[in-house]
Amino acid sequence: MIKRTVTKQAQIKLQNRRRSLKLLAIAMTVLLLADVAGMVLLTPLAEARTPSTRFTVSYNANGGRGTMANTTVTHGISTPLRRNTFTHSNPDMVFVGWHARRVNANGRNEWRYVSGAGAIRWIQQGATIPAGFARSLYRDQHSVSATTSLNNGQVTMFAQWAPSRF
- What does the alpha-carbon distance between residue 121 and residue 135 come to, in Å, rounded to a whole number? 9
Question: Which of helix, strand or coil describes residue 99?
Answer: strand
Residue 5 pLDDT: 62
Residue 26 pLDDT: 44
Are the C-beta atoms of residues 153 and 101 closer than 8 Å to each other? no
- Mean pLDDT, consecutive 10-residue stretches, the chain (166 aa), reads 62 61 42 37 46 85 95 91 95 94 91 92 92 93 85 92 84
> Which among 144, 104, 98, 153 is positioned nearest to 126, based on CA atoms?
104
Q: Measured between alpha carbons, how far is residue 147 from residues 20, 56, 100, 114, 165 in Å?
A: 27, 10, 9, 14, 32
Residue 66 pLDDT: 96
